[in-house]
Structures are given as C-alpha cells and as structure tokens.
Structure 1
Amino acid sequence: MTGLRIWLLLLALLPLASPAETLRLVANPWPPFNDQNLLNNGVASDLVDTALTRAGYRTRYAEVPWERAVRGLQRADYDVLINAWYAEDRTGFGYFSEPYLINRIRFLQRRGMGIQFDSLTDLYPHAIAVIRGYAYSDAFSADSQLQKVGVGSFESAARMVHARRVQLTLEDELVARYHLNRELSSIRDELEFLPQPLSENGLRILISRQHPKHREIAEAFNEAIAAMQADGSYAEIVQRHGM
C-alpha cells in the first residue's frame, strides 16, 4: 500500500471534529447592560458573549422586549436569557448561572417629595411604577400591600413620577442614570434617588431547561467568568464600556 493510500485511510478513520454549538442568546434593551446600539451590545452582552465563546460555544444574539424574551425562553425559542435576576418562579423553566454582575436597585421620587424608605411598610401609601415581569426582590414582589402600577419601560415610569401620576419608581442605579442623562435629561433635575437601596441583585444568565445541556452550559459559563476575572480580561471589558 502506498504512503498516500495509508494517509487517506488514516484520515478516514479519524473522528470528525464536532462544530461548536451555537447558543441563541436573548436580552431586552437595557442600556448600559444590553443594547444593540452600544459597543458589543452593551457591557453585560459583551461579558456573556466573551465567556461563552471562551467556553467553546458560538452565539447568536437577539434583542426583544422583556416579557417576550421570557416567553421565548419558556418556549425554547431561545437557549439563554443573558440578563436575569434570580427569582424562584423562574427556576421551573430556567437554570441560573452564578452572578456575573451586581445591580443596585434604588427608588426615585420627584425632588422634594420627602418620601422615607427604611422598610417596605413605609411605601404602602405610595403608588410605585414597576416594569411588568421584573423581579426586583423576593420581598418586594411578594408584598401585596404595595401599590404597584405596571409599565413597559423605565422611561415611562420616570415620566409618570414626574407627572405625579405615581410617587415612586425603581431601577438599577446605572440604568437609571444612563436614561436620565439622555432621553430623560429634560426632567433629570426634578427627580432624585432615595438614599436607601431596595436591594443588590446578582445579574445571571438563565438557560432554558429544555436545552439538554443546561447545567453544563451554566458550569462552563461560571468557570469562564472566573478565569476572565483572574486574567484581567473581565476588568478590561468593564472598563471599555466606561464603568
């Protein structure tokens, strides 16, 4: 047998390399963390895409409203929701990673309203604009005595506070400041944060339980984030987004 034939035979016996699996990522527009108009779709998108790529996956990113993103994960239209806070009711259809960012949730009021917040009971007299489907904290979500008014976006909520249609809204501090410095700049100086934050929530990816490797994906992602934090690439990504 010639050398060429031997080489061809050996080549035929080698296992074919498996192409990297493509994960369908989804997020809602939530600058500066997620937004198709920002560098690499925002800092959270950048971190998640980098970590999953290092873990050996390819990714495809979609951006839709929050409620549609959650429904899409439940229906397995998407594999990974990349900007989720932990909530017990989400564990039935999704598997959470460890946190890869921290969100500090703060209330906003119209300047000079004088609302005090030390516990949730202090807020019972006040109407609060909340984004439908968000899980701000377990205690906040479970408290039926809070007057929650569902809205579609933080911008709508802030304008309702300014117009005195509600007394409060709440959002991650960096997200709120991003919008207040842009499309809400005309009313920025008439709104103010309450000193006491509601909570600090870990931002995680949520993998559809219908994906047969949901646990494996989460573990690989956690390991990749830890490696990025150790080698400095995590900090480099955060810094290039101005955070």
Structure 2
Amino acid sequence: MTGLRTCLLSLVLLPLYGVAAETLRLVADPWPPFNDQALLNNGVASDLVSTALSRAGYSSTYAQVPWERAVRGLQQDIYDVLINAWYTDERATFGHYSQPYLVNRIRFLQRKGSQISFKQLPDLYPYSIAVVRGYAYSSEFDQDTRLTKVGVVGFAMGARMLHARRVQLTLEDELVARFHLSRELASIRDQLEFLPQPLSENGLHILVSRNHPQHQQIADAFNKAIEAMRADGSYAQIFQRHGL
C-alpha cells in the first residue's frame, strides 16, 4: 500500500517540477555568440536555456532558422520555445514570456570618424540605419516612423552596408557585434566604431508558445532553474566555458 501511495504521490508532483512527457522543440536564429550551431552547445544562450530546462525536467531539441521563420514557426506550432526573444506586446499575444535570463546592451555603430552625435532619437533622423528584419530593438525606436530604417537579414550584412556607405548607422547587441567584428568582419573592423551611448538594455527571455497546454508551467520551471543556476555558480560557469 505504501508503494502505491508513493507512486501516486510522484505522479501528482511531476507537473509541479516541470517534467514533461514530450520533448520541447527549441528554436533560435543564428545570433552568435548567443545562438549558433557552429559554437559549443549551440552558443551561450542555447546552453543556458537547454541546461535550465534539463534541470527543470525537460528534454529538448534545437533548430536554427532565420528570425522571421522562427517567430512564424512558434505561431504555427512547429516549435514550442523561442530561445532568444526580447519583449514586445505583439509577441506576448502568441507566446508566454519567461523572466529575462540575461541582458543585451544595444549599441549603434558608425563609420569611424563620422562624428554622429546620439543623445536622443531625433538626433538620428538625418541618417539611414540598417536594422535586422523582424527584430525589436526598443519600443521607442521600433515605433518611430521618422527614422529611416533599411531592413537586412543579419548584423553582418548591415555592417558591410555601413562600411560601403550604403547606410550611415547600424545597431546590435554589443557582444554580438564584437563577435562578428573579430571574425568574418575583421577586415573592416578598424573602419567601424560604436557610438558612446547605447540605445537600450533589453532583457532576453524564452518565449513559450501559447499553443502548448503547459506554457506557463514551462516558463515558471525555467525561471526557477535559472535562479538555482545563478545561486550555485553553474550560470557563471557556462559563460566562462564560452569565453565570455
């Protein structure tokens, strides 16, 4: 009888700790050093997320597609969890956000010596800015129709357009920009520079499809696992093994 009671109690407790019967389908766009199949454990953000979900009791798979396909795939129930989402009200209609598990510092880049001064957004009205299609940088920036935004598929393309004088500015998370500038953009690195003032600091979340019946449970279990990882040092260890 005791064995039966223990078994029944275990079955009742499983959902509380986020143990899922199915494997969660994770998705992200290529965004090194945070997400990239060519990097250790698919990048530092992917490593943090998959580790936290595993500690919460979930197994997972990882898919990498362009950003707009990743978002559309979450909406169409192709994927369960978008790994690397900044908050927008529009995304919150089809996905449930976790608490932020790291912070992205968004900075503008110009051609060296361009002497563009940025204190507030109207300072940028005279300039064209390369932005990644579908990205949300900050609500104020995204909604300002007086800014001249040129859509690109990724930061590397925007940086090359900046170097070629096809735009006057581009922007990206500082770690992401430095990663690209030290690798495939090394030949133009010395011709580009950051503006001193960042546009914003954005929390990075996982976004769980609201089509998943346990979307809130998944996010809550993830939040608890990240808190535990910060407390026991494993969060910092993941950054260290990625060289960050």
What's the TM-score bracket when you normalise by the shorter of the two chains?
A: over 0.9
Q: What is the CA–CA distance in structure 1 between the aligned matches of 2:66 and 2:212, rounded to whole Å?
A: 22
CA positional deviation for 1:20: 3.9
- Partner residue in 1 for 2:207: 206
3-state DSSP of counterpart to 2:197: coil
Q: What amino acid does structure 1 have at the position aligned with 2:185?
A: L
CA positional deviation for 1:21: 2.8
1:93-134 Cα offsets, whole Å, 9 max, x none, are 111000001100000000000000000000000000000000
1:63-105 Cα offsets, whole Å, 9 max, x none, are 0010000000010100000000011111111110000011000
Q: What amino acid does structure 1 have at the position aligned with 2:33?
A: P
- Partner residue in 1 for 2:45: 44
Q: How does 1:99-110 map to 2 (within 5 A)?
A: 99-110=100-111
Q: What is the CA–CA distance in structure 1 between the aligned matches of 2:156 and 2:34, rounded to whole Å?
A: 16
- Partner residue in 1 for 2:86: 85
For the aligned residue pairs, the C-alpha RMSD in angstroms reads: 1.7
Q: What is the CA–CA distance in structure 1 between the aligned matches of 2:167 and 2:30, rounded to whole Å?
A: 24
- Partner residue in 2 for 1:169: 170
Q: What is the CA–CA distance in structure 1 between the aligned matches of 2:44 and 2:83, rounded to whole Å?
A: 11
CA positional deviation for 1:175: 0.3
Q: What is the CA–CA distance in structure 2 between the aligned matches of 1:137 and 1:76, rounded to whole Å?
A: 27
CA positional deviation for 1:43: 0.4
Q: What amino acid does structure 2 have at the position aligned with 1:60?
A: T
3-state DSSP of counterpart to 2:57: coil
1:7-60 Cα offsets, whole Å, 9 max, x none, are xxx89xx66978743100000010000001101000000000000000011101
1:158-211 Cα offsets, whole Å, 9 max, x none, are 011001000000000000000001110110000000000000000100000110
- Partner residue in 2 for 1:70: 71
Q: How does 1:93-242 map to 2 (within 5 A)?
A: 93-242=94-243
Q: What is the CA–CA distance in structure 1 between the aligned matches of 2:237 and 2:24, rounded to whole Å?
A: 24
In structure 2, stretches of 5+ residues that fail to align are 15-19
Give the paired residue count. Answer: 234
Q: What is the CA–CA distance in structure 2 between the aligned matches of 1:126 and 1:76, rounded to whole Å?
A: 39
3-state DSSP of counterpart to 1:118: coil
The answer to whether the 8 A contact 1:26-1:61 is kept is yes
Q: What amino acid does structure 1 have at the position aligned with 2:187?
A: S
TM-score of the pair, normalised by structure 2? 0.92
Decide which structure has the larger Cα Rg and report it. 1
Q: What amino acid does structure 1 have at the position aligned with 2:115?
A: G
- Partner residue in 1 for 2:17: none
CA positional deviation for 1:153: 0.8
3-state DSSP of counterpart to 1:192: strand
TM-score of the pair, normalised by structure 1? 0.93
3-state DSSP of counterpart to 2:186: coil
